[in-house]
Amino acid sequence: MLYTVVDIETTGNGYKGAKITEISIFVFDGKIVVDEFTSLVNPEQHIPAFITNLTGITNAMVRNAPKFFEIAKKVEELTKDAVFVAHNVNFDYNIIHEEFKNLGFNFKRKKLCTVRLSRKIIPGLNSYSLGNICTAENIPINGRHRAKGDAEATTELFRRLLERDDNFTINSFLNPKSRQATLPPLLDKKAIDALPETFGVYYFKNSAKEVIYVGKANNIKQRVISHFYDKKKKSQNMCLEIADVSFKKTGSELLALLHESAEIKHIYPKFNRAQRRAGEAVGVFYYEDQKGIVHLAYNRLKLIPNPITKYYSVAEARNHLEALCKEFQLCPKYCHLQTNVSSCFHYQIKECKGICCNKETVVNYNKRVKKAIKSVGIGAKNLVIKETGRTKNEVGFALILEGIYKGFGYVNLQQSKQLENPEDYQLFVQPKKDNKDIQRIIKAYLNKKKE
C-alpha cells in the first residue's frame, strides 16, 4: 500500500480564507520514501506577520513561487491511489480539498491521522503535538513549522507507528465503518463510548477545558457523532479543537431545549451563534390614554415596570409590533410606529379601521389590542408543563408563574402526586431567566401539543 505523508503551511485563519504558502509530499511505501515533492506556493494574498514569525515564510519568498493551480496536477498525481496521511489530517486535507474545489475538481482520498494513531499506539503522552511526540521518540525535525521538515518527521513517526501496530489499529482506521476514522484528532474514543443514547445537553471542550459548544439532543451519542461528519467549515474548525465531551441528561426534548438555551447564555461558547446574544434591552408594554385607547409601545427595559415581552434590540421590538399591527389591524399611531400624524397611513390603504380618525369605536379597537397582547409571550398565567424525568421514578417539569418562565426541575414521582398547585413546584425548580428565546421554545411546544 502507498501512503502520501503531507504537510502544508498556510496564511492562517483556520479553513476560512486560508491559502497554502508551502506544501511537502512524501510518497511512502511503508518502509522507504519512494518519491518526494516540496514547493513554496504563492497564496495570492498577504501573509500576516505572526505567520511569518512562526514559519519564516515571507511575502517576498512566495512572490515568484508557483500558484496552486500550477502545481495542482503534480499534487493530484502523487496522492492518487494512495492514503493521505498527516498530523491533524483534517486540517491539511480540507485546505487542499478547498484549493481543488476552487479549481472545479473534487479531491477525495482515504485519510489517516497520526495524532489519532499515536494516541492508540503510543498512549500516555502529555501532548500529541508533532513537536512533543518527536521529542518523546527522539525524531529530529529539520525545520519546524516548515512543510518539508514537518512532513519528513511525520513520515518517520508514521513508519514507527506501522512497526508497532500489533493490534491492526491502522486497518481499523482505514475501514470506512470505523468510528475512529471520523473522530476529532484530540478526542479520545472513550469519551464517545461513555455518551448515553437519550435526551440531554452535551458540551464540547477544548484542551484547556473551556466549553466551546453546547448542543441539545434527543439521542446524545448519535447527535455528537453527527458533528464529525459535517462538512461545513464551522464544524470542521470546531472539530479540530474538541478535546473532550461531557453531557447532562434531561429526560425530554423540551427540557433539553430549555437547558441548552440557558447554558448558551450563561457560558457564551465560541461556536454557538443563534442564541449567543447579550441580555435583552428593550420591552413592549401597554397603557391606556385619556380617551380610553389602549396603546402598545416599546422602550428600554429599565424604564418599563411590567413589559409584556422583551427583545434584544429596538429593531426586533419594532418588527414584532409591525407584525402585530398587520395581524390584528391595529393603528401604527397607537403602536408608536408612526409619530406626529393626525391619522395613520395604514387607514388610507385600509389596513387600519380608523381609530386614529374617529372612524372606529374605542371599544372595538381595544378588543383587538387585547387579542394582540394575549398572543404575545407564553400565553399562560400559571402552568406546569410535566415531562418525563431522567429516570422512571422522576417527573421533569417547566414552571410558568404569572406568565413568566421560572425554570425547570425534577421531582420524585410520589412527591409529584402531592403537588396540587403550580406554586408548589417552586421548591423543586432550578431558577432560570425568562427571555425571548425561552418564550419561543415554550410557545412552539404548547402550539404543537394543541395540534
C-alpha grid cell, residue 341: 400624524
DSSP H stretches of helix in 301-377: 314-328, 345-348, 362-375
Side by side, the strands of the sheet bearing 429-431 are: 383-388, 394-401, 404-412, 429-431
- Distance (Å, rounded) from C-alpha 3 to C-alpha 214? 37
> Count of CB atoms within 10 A of residue 163's CB?
11
Q: How far is Cα of residue 75 from the mean position of the Cα atoms in its chain? A: 33
- Distance (Å, rounded) from C-alpha 27 to C-alpha 8? 15
Is 427 exposed, middle or buried, given 0-12, 13-18 or 19+ CB atoms closer than 10 A? exposed
* Catalytic residue list contains 145: yes
Residue closest to 297 by CA, chosen among 346, 349, 338, 249: 338
* CB 11 within 8 Å of CB 21: yes
Of 87, 97, 145, 259, which is the active-site residue?
145
Q: Which helix (H) or strand (E) holds 411?
A: strand 404-412
- Distance (Å, rounded) from C-alpha 90 to C-alpha 240? 8
C-alpha grid cell, residue 97: 480539498
C-alpha grid cell, residue 79: 496522492
Query: Which positions are catalytic?
Result: 145
